[in-house]
Amino acid sequence: MAKARGMKLIVAGGGTGGHLFPGIAVAEALRAADPDCDVLFVGTDKPFEREAAARAGFEHRGIAVTAIKRRKWWEKLAALWRLLTAVFTAAGIIWRFKPDMILGVGGYASAPCLLAGFLMGKRTAVQEQNVAPGLTNKVLGMLSGRVYASFGESRDFFPEGKVLVTGNPVRLSLSSGTGRKRESGAPFTVMMVGGSQGAHGINTAVMEAIGKEGESLRGIRFIHQTGENDFQAVSEAYRAWGGAADVRPFFYDMAEQYEKTDLLVCRSGATTVAEITVLGKAAVFVPFPFAADNHQEKNARALEAAGAARVILQKDLTGSVFAGTVLELSRDPAALSRMEEASKAHGRPRAAADIAADMLASVPETGGK
């Protein structure tokens, strides 16, 4: 099949950075391979999504859709009605944009766009970030022509021949990072990242650590993404401590922040794991305890077994445990170096480019069909 030019792609999904950022990574890779491409993001109407897409240079449109799981029966009925309405809204967007392909990246907006696209005879694909897909992606993967998987084990959940194992896509600014080591004499730098919405458990442990053991941590520099809800409380705790810290609700310049970082204390969602392994960063994972099928702990344990990370369950994370772990690793550069090497060995920096190449090969040479 001839390579497409001027391809038109809808990236459907979002809601969290874990869904949105792989979509941005694929869109960036497609733009690099096909400068005449046209990419539209369709997600929820959260300001975070709109701004992240705009910063990457892509248009974003929001549709109204909510979760169905873990709702009371009357709330489920309302959510189902919204889903049906969202399918019609998505169909209108698809009819006007006329994409060559629709790529679902997970999140509430993924299902109505892919369902509408399937009913309208459009090429559709799913990007699965975890080993075991949830129910929505299992169904959407059956309907779609292609499934881009982060793990080879995902083949067991989809029809034979549909799955292309690529790894989880990482944004261009990160996949092209240098992985620069810290300069001699620079303070040991620890970054806390709880995903786009923050992690209350990590935030609480850090506040306890700098409140009770602040003197022992005085030589450490912290970079802390708190999320909106805890930003004020965490900022006040750092001000009271008085040490070196950069505290923000969200970092849009993650490539720059990763460059400064010696150790991450973070959740272990698929996107976070993909980013830090591409850059070869050492991590202390605190898996989100309520993740579907406990997939975050599974992600974390896999890297722990490879020697790339340590795992602390949230129930075990206290201020003293946080401080002790950070101080131990800051004083053992050899152990940190071994973790970095093991992390780098698991990185898949070409994931987004491989997905873009496969999409371009799958559509006719003329775009906008």
Please indicate, yes or no, whether residues 86 and 234 belong to a single structural domain of this protein. no
Asked if the model's pLDDT at residue 368 lies above 50, the reply is no
Q: Is residue 2 part of a domain?
A: no
CA distance 148 to 355: 7
Backbone angles phi, psi at 223, to 5 degrees: -120, 120
In whole angstroms, what is the distance from residue 16 CA to residue 18 CA? 5
238 secondary structure, DSSP code: H
User: Containing domain of residue 254, as a range?
Assistant: 177-345
pLDDT at 71 over 60: no
Q: Is residue 368 part of a domain?
A: no
Helix 270-279 with 17-33: angle, nearest 10 deg? 50
Residue 320: pLDDT above 50? yes
Q: Does the structure show a pLDDT above 90 at 46?
A: no
Statement to judge: residues 21 and 135 lie in one domain: yes
Q: Are 24 and 16 in contact (CB under 8 A)?
A: no
Across residues 315-332, what is the average pLDDT?
Answer: 97
The residues that bridge with 266 in the sheet, in sequence order, are 193, 285
Q: How many domains does the chain have?
A: 2
In this structure, the answer to whether residues 294 and 315 fall within a common structural domain is: yes
pLDDT at 301 over 60: yes
Identify residue 301 by its one-letter amino acid code: R
The listed range with the strongest mean pLDDT (53-67, 173-187, 234-248) is 234-248
Instruction: Tell me: do 218 and 335 sit in the same domain.
Output: yes
Residue 325 lies inside a defined structural domain of this protein:
yes
The sheet that has 38-43: what strands, in order across it? 59-62, 38-43, 8-12, 101-104, 123-128, 146-149, 163-165
Can you tell me the distance from the alpha carbon of 217 to that of 243, in angstroms, rounded to the nearest whole number?
8
Do 128 and 190 lie in a common domain?
no
| Residues 158, 237 share a domain | no
Pairs from 332-336 (Cβ < 8 Å, separation ≥ 24): 336/262, 336/263, 336/282
- The Cα 260–Cα 354 span in angstroms is 29
Q: Specify if 236 maps to a domain.
A: yes
pLDDT in tens, 250-276: 888 888 999 999 999 999 988 899 999
CATH for 264 = 3.40.50.2000
Question: E strands within the chain?
Answer: 8-12, 38-43, 59-62, 101-104, 123-128, 146-149, 163-165, 188-193, 220-225, 245-248, 263-266, 282-285, 309-311
Classify each residue of 138-174 as buried b or exposed e, where b means 16 or more C-beta atoms within 10 Å of its C-beta.
eebbeebebbbbbbeebbebbeeebbebbbbbbbbbb
**Is residue 274 included in any domain, yes or no?**
yes
Residues 186, 138 share a domain: no
The pLDDT, as a whole number, for residue 369 is: 45
Query: Does a structural domain hold residue 3?
Result: no
Residues in the chain: 369
Same domain for 139 and 201, yes or no, is no
148 with 199, same domain?
Answer: no
pLDDT at 17: 76
pLDDT tens digits, one per residue of 76-96: 566 666 778 889 999 999 999
pLDDT by residue (tens digit) across 327-349?
Answer: 999 999 999 999 999 999 999 99
Residues 214 and 320 in one domain: yes
Residue 187: φ, ψ to 5°: -65, 145
User: In this prediction, what percent of the chain has a pLDDT beyond 90?
Assistant: 64
Whether residue 27 is found in the same domain as residue 66:
yes
Same domain, 142 and 194: no
Q: Indicate whether 195 belongs to any domain.
A: yes
Would 369 be classed as within a structural domain?
Answer: no
Separation of alpha carbons 23 and 365, rounded Å: 23
* pLDDT, the chain, mean: 88
